[in-house]
Amino acid sequence: MELKTKNITKQYANHLALSNASIEVPQGTVFGLLGPNGAGKTTLIRIITRITAPDSGEVLINGRPSREEDTYNIGYLPEERGLYRKMKVGEQAMYLARLRGLSKADAHRELMKWFERFDIMSWYNRKVEELSKGMAQKVQFISTVIHNPDLLIFDEPFSGFDPVNAELIKNEMLRLKNEGKTIILSTHNMESVEELCDNIALINKSQVVLQGKVFDIRQQHRSDIYRFRLRGNDFAKDFEITHPTFFVLSQAPYHEFIDLRIKKQDDISNSELAKLFFDRYDVVGFEEELPTMNDIFIKTVS
């Protein structure tokens, strides 16, 4: 499912939650929705899932305005998520699956598959209140994807998971993407953004301030910083290249190596730059330091 929002504006009593927010989520990709707390991410998600209506603007699904029945083709895992504490896990999962439009038989069959896959069959008859947070999250995740929707929206999906289960969820998301599902991921975990997302939009103070492919954005934010790792612990003191094309930002010993960070000053090609080092030292590593999404996030927001 391809999703677009066009100039969405939403005003609450005393603050503007979204102002002309337009995003484009291509089909079969993972889209990162980033932004500080209170920027308007959740409002945008709620508008996409038709929980609230925008004051102006529209949501387009495969090029046409979204309709009520599209909600059956969306799986949404909200950040504020819970379960009915007094219900049994299986009963609860069945209920949510059926609310999402599955017949009793389909819901049961799908649940069995997912419970097998997540290895939680033994919880089926336990009460929700007996589950740990991570366990409850698994049940939540299942009930988000159970109806096989084409658009999946995950709001902070990794919170509450230990690294093993976070990896499990990550892999599930990638698998879903490979099946052609469109995924919107809203998170503050920038590492997972770099790892999973094809595109991102950064929302700050109710506006989309940055949008595009993760790769492109990082390229655009490059700051000509390069890293070298050189062999030889004896020249830590006598390292000396001075050249008008760069200056050294830092140098630090690392075991028997030395790590250098330099900033390119002038327009010289990478191979020319490298040559300066290769000629004189035993170079173990050379790479351009691209800004992390974390850096870009902080730089853009502040």
Which of residues 113 and 263 has its CB atom nearest to another protein in the complex? 113
Instruction: Of 111, 84, 102, 200, give the one whose Cα is nearest residue 149.
Output: 102
181 binds another protein (CB under 8 A): yes
98 binds another protein (CB under 8 A): yes
54 binds another protein (CB under 8 A): yes
Q: According to CB under 8 A, which one of 22, 103, 132, 171 is a site residue for another protein?
A: 103
CA distance 149 to 70: 9
3-class SS letters over the chain: CCEEEEEEEEECCCCEEEEEEEEEECCCCEEEEECCCCCCHHHHHHHHCCCCCCCEEEEEECCEECCHHHHHHEEEECCCCCCCCCCEHHHHHHHHHHHCCCCHHHHHHHHHHHHHHCCCHHHCCCEHHHCCHHHHHHHHHHHHHCCCCCEEEEECCCCCCCHHHHHHHHHHHHHHHHCCCEEEEECCCHHHHHHHCCEEEEEECCEEEEEEEHHHHHHHCCCCEEEEEEECCHHHCCCCCCECCEEEEEEEEECCEEEEEEEECCCCCHHHHHHHHHHHCCEEEEEEECCCHHHHHHHHHC
Which of residues 150 and 208 has its CB atom nearest to another protein in the complex? 150
For another protein, which stretch binds (CB under 8 A), given 48-56, 188-196, 256-264, 293-301?
48-56
For another protein, which stretch binds (CB under 8 A), given 66-74, 157-165, 196-204, 256-264?
66-74
Q: According to CB under 8 A, which one of 37, 63, 64, 86 is a site residue for another protein?
A: 86
Instruction: Of 216, 171, 208, 175, give the one whose Cα is nearest residue 192.
Output: 171
Q: According to CB under 8 A, which one of 112, 125, 180, 280 is a site residue for another protein?
A: 180
Closest approach, Cβ 291 to another protein, in A, equals 34
For another protein, which stretch binds (CB under 8 A), given 97-105, 253-261, 276-284, 289-297?
97-105
Closest approach, Cβ 272 to another protein, in A, equals 48
Interface of this chain with another protein, residues 252 to 291, rule: CB under 8 A: none
Which of residues 179 and 216 has its CB atom nearest to another protein in the complex? 179
Interface of this chain with another protein, residues 112 to 141, rule: CB under 8 A: 113, 140
Q: Which residues pair with 32 in a beta bridge?
A: 185, 200
150 binds another protein (CB under 8 A): yes
85 binds another protein (CB under 8 A): yes
| Residues touching another protein, count (CB under 8 A) | 47
Q: Dig out the tokens for 185 from the structure.
A: 């991921």
164 binds another protein (CB under 8 A): no
Q: According to CB under 8 A, which one of 37, 63, 64, 82 is a site residue for another protein?
A: 82
Q: Which residue is listed with tokens 């950064």?
A: 202
CB 131 within 8 A of CB 123: yes
Which of residues 76 and 257 has its CB atom nearest to another protein in the complex? 76
Interface of this chain with another protein, residues 197 to 236, rule: CB under 8 A: none
Binding site for another protein (CB under 8 A): 1, 12-13, 27, 46, 49, 51-55, 62, 69, 71-74, 76-78, 80-87, 95-96, 98-103, 106, 110, 113, 140, 143, 147-148, 150, 179-181
